[in-house]
């Protein structure tokens, strides 16, 4: 009986020990399970990349010219002042240069003299040539002499015409006309002023403001985008309540080294002359990529001193993926790298979540 009781006690003791061991193993397993991080995830998808930005810009005249005298002389008459609207070919000013006027008259007289000499020589040659057709009337040497005189007088006449035309053109410089329709914005001389020195200020400055150029310096990061509808809207500080339209007409096609930007130029109709050249404007550009791209929340991107990366979850483990950042779209950021639509990414990534770490995912609605 005592032997049976001892055996029973041993069995109970072994059972109790086994139960404690099983509970200990279960707790260890639970503890290991608790050590696996649970992370919220974001499913990458391909979206259209669009962004609207506002950039400072400047209105410039469509055409601008500085009017200078091509000859030295005294300003005899000036017909315009600042604010005067002028037409193409309109007389703006007259220059008084007596030596040029006298030279034009001199060469005109030389033309008349050379012409008379040429006509007389030609008439003489024609008569001698006609007479020489009869044998023995005119010696061959005489005909040759008359012919040479005629050719020399003809060349002298042509030279006189050329010289007269040259000085007549110089004489035309005495009358200064407008090269295009526009408005005079500067006047730097008055009647009686000696003009024609290359270093002096221009007599007048004329601008065409019937249409304007709006120049926008677009940062390099946006140089790879296109403009929606190839047009923009802009406002000015002078008239903030008015919104104007402008059409993209050309790009500089280079990045300026100093500003790291590309100049986009827009054409602005200005029939009512409300806008002025030199005004500053705020241009609103709606930009887009030509192809869809991958965008991520900013929380899914880790930035360190060395690089930027996102954390991909693949087969239950983490993987660091290097990325390059594109456009900042506000709530999301365009990225380039080994990330495709449908990839699972850690929504709130950080540098402490190392690669090849097992994780539990908690789906989050994108």
Q: What are phi and psi of 72, to 5 degrees?
A: -85, 135
Q: Pick the residue with more confidence: 141 or 121?
A: 121
Superfamily of domain 54-61+208-288: Efflux pump adaptor protein, beta barrel domain (2.40.30.170)
**3-class secondary structure per residue, the chain:** CHHHHHHHHHHHHHHHHHHHHHHHHHHHHHHHHHHCEEEEEEECCEECCEEEEEEEEEEEEEEEEEECCCCCEEEEEECCCCCCEECCCCEEEEEECHHHHHHHHHHHHHHHHHHHHHHHHHHHHHHHHHHCCCCCCCCHHHHHHHHHHHHHHHHHHHHHHHHHHHHHHHHHCCEEECCCCEEEEEECCCCCCEECCCCCCCCEEEEEEEEEEEEEEEEHHHCCCEEHHHEEEEEECCCCCCCEEEEEEEECCCCCCCCCEEEEEEEEECCCCCCCCCCEEEEEEEEECCCCEEEEEHHHCEECCCCEEEEEEECCEEEEEEEEEEEECCCEEEEEECCCCCCEEECCCCCCCCCCCEEEEEECCC
Please state whether beta strands 91-96 and 73-78 pair in parallel, antiparallel, or not at all (unpaired): antiparallel
* pLDDT computed for residue 9 by the predictor: 46
**214-234 mean pLDDT:** 94
Q: How many CA atoms lie within 13 A of 328 on its CB side?
A: 5
Of 85-89, 97-101, 327-331, the poorest mean pLDDT is in 97-101
The count of other CB atoms within 10 Å of the CB of residue 112 is 12
Q: In the predicted model, is pLDDT for residue 27 greater than 80?
A: no
Average pLDDT, stretch 215-236? 94
* pLDDT attached to residue 235: 97
Structure tokens at 245: 């339209």
Reported confidence tier of residue 277, pLDDT bands at 50, 70, 90? very high
Confidence of residue 103 (pLDDT cuts 50, 70, 90): confident
**16: pLDDT confidence band, cut at 50, 70 and 90?**
very low
Q: Name which residue leads in pLDDT, 101 or 84.
A: 84
Structure tokens at 268: 């602005």
Give backbone dihedrals phi and psi of 50, rounded to 5 degrees, phi first. Answer: -135, 145
Return the structure tokens found at 310.
Answer: 């996102």
Q: How confident is the model at residue 17 (pLDDT cuts 50, 70, 90)?
A: very low
What's the confidence (pLDDT) of residue 35? 57
For 234, how many CA atoms within 13 A lie in the half-sphere containing its CB? Answer: 29
Give the pLDDT confidence of 122-168 residue by residue, as tens digits: 888 888 778 777 776 677 777 788 888 888 988 988 988 888 777 77
Q: Provide the mean pLDDT of the chain.
A: 86
CA nearest 294: which of 234, 336, 322?
A: 336
Q: Is the pLDDT of residue 324 over 80?
A: yes
Say what the pLDDT of residue 105 is: 77
pLDDT at 33 over 90: no
Predicted confidence (pLDDT) at residue 353 exceeds the cutoff of 50? yes
Fold topology of 37-49+292-363: 2.40.420
Task: Assess whether pLDDT exceeds 60 at residue 25.
Answer: no
* Cα separation, 331 vs 261, whole angstroms: 25
pLDDT at 23 over 80: no
Which fold, 67-177? Helix Hairpins (1.10.287)
| Window from 96-100, 138-142, 184-188 with minimum mean pLDDT | 138-142
- Between residues 28 and 221, which one has the greater pLDDT? 221
Q: What is the mean pLDDT of residues 44-66?
A: 95
Q: Which of 51-65, 97-111, 318-332 has the lowest mean pLDDT?
A: 97-111
The half-sphere exposure of 89 on its side-chain side, counting CA atoms within 13 A, is: 0
Domain assignments of the chain as residue spans, ordered by start: 37-49+292-363, 54-61+208-288, 67-177
Q: What is the C-alpha separation between 319 and 175, in angstroms, rounded?
A: 79
Assess whether pLDDT exceeds 80 at residue 354. yes
Rounded average pLDDT over 21-34: 47
pLDDT at 366: 59
Percent of the chain with pLDDT over 70: 89
Same fold yes or no, 37-49+292-363 and 54-61+208-288: no
Least confident of 131-145, 176-190, 262-276: 131-145
Query: HSE of 12 in the Cβ direction (CA atoms, 13 Å)?
Result: 6
> Does position 28 have pLDDT exceeding 80, yes or no?
no
């Amino acid at each position: 009986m005592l032997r049976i009781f001892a055996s029973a006690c041993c069995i109970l003791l072994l059972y109790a020990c086994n139960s404690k061991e099983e509970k200990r193993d279960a707790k260890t397993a639970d503890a290991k399970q608790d050590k696996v991080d649970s992370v919220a995830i974001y499913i990458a998808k391909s979206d259209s990349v669009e962004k609207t930005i506002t950039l400072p810009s400047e209105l410039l005249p469509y055409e601008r010219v500085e009017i200078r005298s091509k000859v030295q002389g005294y300003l005899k008459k000036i017909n315009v002042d600042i604010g005067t609207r002028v037409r193409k070919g309109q007389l703006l000013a007259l220059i008084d240069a007596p030596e040029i006027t006298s030279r034009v008259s001199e060469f005109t007289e030389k033309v008349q003299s050379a012409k008379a000499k040429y006509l007389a020589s030609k008439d003489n040659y024609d008569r001698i040539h006609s007479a020489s057709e009869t044998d023995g009337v005119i010696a061959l040497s005489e005909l040759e002499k008359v012919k040479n005189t005629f050719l020399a007088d003809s060349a002298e006449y042509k030279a006189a015409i050329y010289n007269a035309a040259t000085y007549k053109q110089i004489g035309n410089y005495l009358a200064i006309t407008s090269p295009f329709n526009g408005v005079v914005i500067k006047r730097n001389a008055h009647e009686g002023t000696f003009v024609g020195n290359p270093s002096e200020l221009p007599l007048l400055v004329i601008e065409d403001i019937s249409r304007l150029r709006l120049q926008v310096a677009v940062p390099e990061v946006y140089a790879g985008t296109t403009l929606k509808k190839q047009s923009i809207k802009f406002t000015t500080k002078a008239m903030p309540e008015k919104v104007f339209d402008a059409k993209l007409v050309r790009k500089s096609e280079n990045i300026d080294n100093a500003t790291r930007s590309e100049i986009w130029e827009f054409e602005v109709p200005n029939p009512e002359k409300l806008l002025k050249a030199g005004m500053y404007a705020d241009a609103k550009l709606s930009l887009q990529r030509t192809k869809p791209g991958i965008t991520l929340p900013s929380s899914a991107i880790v930035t360190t001193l060395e690089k930027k990366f996102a954390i991909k979850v693949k087969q239950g483990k983490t993987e660091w993926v290097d990325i390059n950042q594109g456009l900042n779209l506000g709530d999301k950021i365009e990225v380039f790298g080994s990330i495709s639509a449908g990839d699972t990414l850690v929504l709130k990534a950080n540098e402490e979540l190392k690669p090849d770490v097992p994780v539990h995912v908690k789906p989050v609605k994108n």
